[in-house]
Amino acid sequence: MKKCDFRQSGRDSSEEEARASKASRPIIAVYPGSFDPVTLGHEDIVRRTLRFCDHLVVGVAETATQAKGSLFPVAERLEMIRAVFGSEPRVDCVSFSGLLVDFARDEGARFIIRGLRAVSDFDYEFQMAQMNRELWDEVETIFLTPDVHYSFLSATLVREVAGLGGDVSTFVSPLVLERLRRRFS
């Protein structure tokens, strides 16, 4: 019986150097969204992403891809996210406009992180992931499901419940809760 040899023969040294260089680069991902406001579900996705990447850039979209009314201006959303993740040096937060793949490329990211709460999210996210691969074939989209406690949670629901005077303290950090209370008082 013949053994399989998985080593490729005929590689030149430039191929090997390129492969080694790629392997030694830090793993950078972007997590885009509106984060209006940032919820504990978003925080869960960020913390779990840090298990497999070296650096995560949370990208607050200046223009929503879906028709949504915003509650907080982009600058305030950035402030909240920076405060929530202030003690984590591997998380940066910036705003971006234009194509997501251009943003990812500019940040040096090879991965786009997307959270999926339900099957209904998948159709839209799958289409976006496919389009992003068509626009830049070096990027991969990684779908993460949130902790079961946050599987139903969305920033839109938080805004609606808070706006109607409901208690959202179990869905957002204390800092975000205070901002919501000020906004709706």
Dihedrals phi, psi of 27, to nearest 5 degrees? -85, 115
Q: How far is CA 23 from the centre of its chain?
A: 22
Residue 35 forms part of a structural domain: yes
Residue 126 forms part of a structural domain: yes
DSSP assignment letter at 11 = -
DSSP string of 21-40?
HHHHS--EEEEEE--TT--H
User: 143: helix, coil or strand?
Assistant: strand
Residue 4 forms part of a structural domain: no
Residue 19 forms part of a structural domain: no
- What is the residue range of 122's domain? 25-184
CATH code for position 63: 3.40.50.620
Residue 12 forms part of a structural domain: no
pTM reported for the whole predicted model:
0.85
69-88 CB burial, b ≥16 within 10 A, e <16: eebbebeebbebbeebbeee
Residue 14 forms part of a structural domain: no
* pLDDT per residue rounded down to tens, the chain (185 residues): 555 544 455 555 666 665 555 667 899 999 999 999 999 999 999 999 999 999 999 999 998 766 667 999 999 999 999 999 999 999 999 999 999 999 999 999 999 999 998 888 899 999 999 999 999 999 999 999 999 999 999 999 999 999 999 999 999 999 999 999 999 98
Q: In total, how many domains does the chain have?
A: 1
Report d(CA 76, CA 81) in Å as an integer: 9
Report d(CA 51, CA 144) in Å as an integer: 12
Residues with Cβ within 8 Å of 87's Cβ and at least 6 positions away in sequence, in order, are none
Residue 20 forms part of a structural domain: no
Residue 141 forms part of a structural domain: yes
Report d(CA 61, CA 160) in Å as an integer: 20
